[in-house]
Amino acid sequence: MHNESLKSQATFPPKSTEPRPEHPPEVPLAIHDLTVAYHRKPVLWDIELNIPEGKLVGIVGPNGAGKSTLLKACLDLIPKTSGWAHIYGKPYKKARHLVAYVPQRESVDWDFPVSALDVVAMGAYRRLGWFRRVTKEESAKALHCLEQVGIDHLADRQISQLSGGQQQRVFLARALMQDAELYLMDEPFAAVDAATEEAIVALLRKLSDQGKTCLVVHHDLATVTTYFDWLVLLNMRVVADGPAETTFTRENLQKTYGGKLNLLEKAAEALRHTIN
Amino acid sequence: MNWTSFDTWIVVIGALCAMACALPGCFLVLRKMSMMGDAISHAVLPGLAIAFLITGTRASVPMFFGAAIAGVLTALFTQWISRFGNVDRGAAMGIVFTTLFAIGLIMIRQAADNVDLDPGCVLYGAIELTPLDTVGSTGIPRAALVNGGVLLANLVIILVLFKEFKLGAFDSALADTLGFSSQFLHYLLMTMVAVTTVAAFESVGSIIVIAMLIVPPATALLLTRKLPAMLLIATVTAALSALLGHLGAIIVPPWFGFQTTTTSGMIALAAGVLFTLAWLFSPIEGILVKRWHRNHSEPEEVPEPGGA
């Protein structure tokens, strides 16, 4: 088994020997030569990305393409086999204050005995540092963040008493609480109601208007071009990236999804017919 | 019933020990690592034996260090085995703690057999005898001071790091991205469990430790949806178990014509009874209330505490 994985590694192109390209330091997220492997099997290979400031960026690709892994590697949550990801020119450890992360909803236990407001207040913990309690100002701010996602009336509810969409909004409010410049969101639209989806889109637009950058892992091809203005097509490698209109092409999608696209295409086609 | 100051001390020691266990136990339960308490409470045995073999005394300080190191190693080995051996976490825990426990047993049998560190004492404890071992001329049993000290230490750590413990238990990935090392918080909790376990070993035995780490927190979780309240209720439940347990041990068996029974066992049993009562009658999670609500109200409505 080990031999096999070694062999499969050997078939990948050797590391480039060219000098590292200089990224302008103002780029919110610059990734160079990033490779991530689980149990010696590569999940991401040689990722090279420059995410421009103020864009709503969709990350699209089939299951197992490494979309979540890409976000986690940028956040130092999983080790990088090689390469780096810089946030405004700095490694993550020195740029924590610039990044907010919205994990997948299933990543936590929603039966945990805390209220919605408690969870949002966690977004202030880095500012507070070790030992210091949540202050009155931070609590008021947390309530304001809940208001921005439209559920401030649920602030005192224990989180298991919220619907899936409301739980997702709590996570978004927590990210807002972090006051970041770059937002990394892992499938915020997964299994939410229509009202929540609208609220999230409105919020993303607002963040983008404020010059913040949002990277959003997304599944629904039908909404890609309406929600996002920049696109990263990912399937272990970056298949294509650039402005949404020019990147979201049949050819690029074919390359990203391979044979699986046909089915998706048919679904999208059917959807287009019902809308028109 | 003939209640003496002896009985009072037994209850006090049992309550201090039970409360000391319940506090870190809350976070074990919330992290879904309940069995880690079981594992660590067994795996500290070789740590105790080695500390004894090196120092030649049963002095508390080396014992604590030995236990703390063994406890952290248990957590560490479990993590390694499940990651590199591709084994499920529960199985890895089972491998580590049974092996360490066995090593501890062998060491005690071989090297320290003639000393008062016998396996039976470790498992069942001897809470009935603890009031005899007093410190100097104060008349305060050593076990009360040790368990009281550990309770105080656990309380201070959890109060000071409450926000960090909450974050680490709820969302360890967020803790890491915000710069609060989830590894550090994890091993701090493991150390607390190990040290608490050793303090309790000498007085009340490991069976009650395992019960007190998990049962009062699980009971509290049925009674509240707030973390501070959970910690408080778990602590009170633990203390109550000690009182009811000792009362049960001296009152109940004579009803059936038996001699009084072991207090440690009865304390664990009392905790189990309290859990059952909470499970039945809790105003928010109790099955009776849930059934009543299913029959009488909209399922959408959240049952409020006291509303039943």
- Taking only residues 105 to 164 of chain B, the set having a beta carbon closer than 8 angstroms to any beta carbon of chain A reads 160-164
Average pLDDT in the B238-244 region? 96
> Is residue A94 one of the residues assigned to a domain?
yes
Please report, as a single letter, which amino acid is at residue A198: E
CB atoms B176 and A77 under 8 Å: yes
Q: How many CB atoms lie within 10 A of CB B35?
A: 17
Residue A60 DSSP SS3: strand
- Which of A65, A126, A84 shows the shortest CA–CA distance to A101? A126
Indicate whether B308 belongs to any domain. Answer: no
Return the pLDDT at A270.
63
Query: The domain that contains A48 carries what CATH number?
Result: 3.40.50.300
Question: Distance (Å, rounded) from C-alpha A245 to C-alpha A229?
Answer: 8
Residue A8 lies in a domain: no
Give the end-to-end CA distance of chain B in Å, rounded to a whole number.
Answer: 37
Q: Does B184 touch chain A (CB under 8 A)?
A: no
Query: Hey, are the CB atoms on B173 and A113 less than 8 Å from each other?
Result: no
In a mutational test of the B interface, the residue from A104, A105, A118 whose CB has the highest number of chain B CBs within 10 Å is A118
Q: Which residue among B163, B176, B230 sits closest to A113, beta carbon to beta carbon?
A: B230
Tell whether the model's pLDDT for residue B224 goes beyond 70.
Answer: yes
How many residue pairs from chains A and B have C-beta atoms closer than 8 A? 76
CB contact under 8 A, B160 and A131: yes
Residue B279 forms contact with A (CB below 8 Å): no
Q: Which of B149, B146, B119, B112 is nearest to B45 (CA)?
A: B119
Q: Give B173's contacts in chain A (Cβ within 8 Å).
A: 72, 75, 77, 101, 103, 107
The pLDDT assigned to A7 comes to 42
Smallest CA–CA distance from A114 into chain B, residue: B226
Q: Residue B62 falls within a domain, yes or no?
A: yes
pLDDT band at B87 (very low <50, low <70, confident <90, very high): confident
Q: Which residues pair with A47 in a beta bridge?
A: A34
HEC profile for chain B?
CCCCHHHHHHHHHHHHHHHHHHHHHHHHHHCCCHHHHHHHHHHHHHHHHHHHHHHCCCCHHHHHHHHHHHHHHHHHHHHHHHHHCCCCHHHHHHHHHHHHHHHHHHHHHHHCCCCCCCHHHHHHCCHHHHHHCECCCCCCEHHHHHHHHHHHHHHHHHHHCHHHHHHHHHCHHHHHHCCCCHHHHHHHHHHHHHHHHHHHHHHHCHHHHHHHHHHHHHHHHHHCCCHHHHHHHHHHHHHHHHHHHHHHHHHHHHHCCCCCCCHHHHHHHHHHHHHHHHHHHCCCCCHHHHHHHHHHCCCCCCCCCCCC
Any long-range contacts for B115-118 (C-beta under 8 Å, 24+ apart)?
A: B115/B52, B115/B58, B116/B58, B117/B48, B117/B49, B117/B52, B117/B58
For B177, the closest of A75, A114, A119 (CB atoms) is A75
* Residues of A in Cβ contact (< 8 Å) with B180: 125, 130
Angle at the Cα of B28 from the Cα atoms of B179 and B190, rounded to 5 degrees: 65
Q: What is the CATH number of the domain that holds B70?
A: 1.10.3470.10
Tally of domains within chain A: 1
Tokens of residue A26, six digits: 């103002």
Q: What's the total number of domains in chain B?
A: 1
Higher pLDDT, B87 or B110: B87
User: Do residues A189 and A203 make contact, with C-beta atoms less than 8 angstroms apart?
Assistant: no
- Report if residue B290 sits inside a domain: no
- Low-confidence residues of chain A, pLDDT below 50? 1-20, 23
Residue owning tokens 């049949």? A250
Q: What is the SS3 assignment for A202?
A: helix
Residue B300 confidence (pLDDT) above 60: no
Report d(CA A254, CA A250) in Å as an integer.
6
Q: Does B83 touch chain A (CB under 8 A)?
A: no
Beta strands at A41-51 and A29-38: parallel, antiparallel or unpaired:
antiparallel
With CA atoms as reference, the chain B residue closest to A163 would be B300
Would B130 be classed as within a structural domain?
yes
Residue A213 lies in a domain: yes
B300 falls within a domain: no
Q: What pLDDT was estimated at residue B70? A: 87
Residue A185 host element (H or E): strand A182-186
Query: CA A76 to CA A96: how far, in whole Å?
Result: 10
Residue A159 in domain? yes
Residue B115 has a pLDDT of 58
Q: How far is A274 from chain B (nearest CA, A)?
A: 34
pLDDT of residue A271: 65
Residue of B167, B221, B230 lying closest to A122 (CB–CB):
B167
Interchain proximity B170–A108, CB inside 8 Å = yes
Domain contains A10: no
Q: Please provide the size of chain A in residues.
A: 276
Binary contact (A101, B161; C-beta < 8 A): no
**B223 to chain A: closest CA residue:** A113
Phi then psi for residue B210, to 5 deg, are -60, -40
Instruction: State residue B20's pLDDT score.
Output: 96
Instruction: Say whether residue B177 is in contact with chain A using an 8 A CB cutoff.
Output: yes
The whole-angstrom separation of Cα B281 and Cα B306 is: 11
Question: What value does the mean pLDDT take over residues B27-48?
Answer: 88
Give just the sign of the alpha carbon dihedral B43, B48, B51, B52.
Answer: negative
Contacts of A161 in chain B (CB under 8 A): 225, 302
Q: Which of B160, B173, B179 sits opposite A107 (nearest CB)?
A: B173
Q: What is the pLDDT of residue A1?
A: 41
CB atoms A103 and B180 under 8 Å: no
pLDDT in tens, B98-149: 999 899 888 877 766 655 555 566 666 678 778 888 877 778 888 899 899 9
Domain that holds residue A43: 20-275
Give residue for tokens 């498992």.
B123
Check if B187 contacts A (Cβ < 8 Å).
no
Of A74-83, B7-16, B81-90, B265-274, which gets the smallest average pLDDT? B81-90
A9 occurs within a structural domain? no
pLDDT value at residue A35? 94
**Whether the predicted pLDDT of B201 surpasses 80:** no
What is residue A254's predicted lDDT score, i.e. its pLDDT?
A: 87
Query: Of the spans B20-29, B85-94, B253-262, which averages the highest pLDDT?
Result: B20-29
Q: How close B224 gets to chain A, by Cα (Å)?
A: 8
**A109 contact residues in B (CB cutoff 8 A):** 30, 32, 170
**Residue B53 is part of which domain span?**
5-237
Q: How far apart are CA B42 and CA B119, in angstroms?
A: 11
Q: Is residue B277 domain-resident?
A: no
Q: How far apart are CA A179 and CA A163, in angstroms?
A: 25
Average pLDDT on B50-76 reads: 81
**How many angstroms separate the CA atoms of B205 and B268, rounded?**
11
A234 beta partners: A238
**A interface test, pick of B163, B181, B222 with most A CB neighbours within 10 Å:** B163
Angstrom CA distances, A61 to A66, A218, B173, B286, stand at 8, 8, 23, 45
- With CA atoms as reference, report the closest residue to A158 among B205, B299, B210, B284: B284
- In-domain check, residue B289: no
Residue B302 lies in a domain: no
Closest chain B residue to A94, measured at CA: B179
Q: Is the CB of A125 less than 8 angstroms away from the CB of B230? A: no
C-alpha distances in Å from residue A114, one per residue of B176, B227, B228, B286: 19, 6, 9, 19
Mention every residue, 6+ apart, whose C-beta is less than 8 A from residue A15. A33, A82
Give the mean pLDDT of chain B.
Answer: 85
Residues of B in contact with A133 (CB under 8 A): 162-163
Local structure of residue A24 (DSSP, 8 states): P
Indicate the pLDDT class of residue B283, thresholds 50, 70 and 90.
Answer: confident
Residue B286 — left, alpha, or beta (φ > 0 → left; ψ -120 to 50 → alpha)?
A: beta
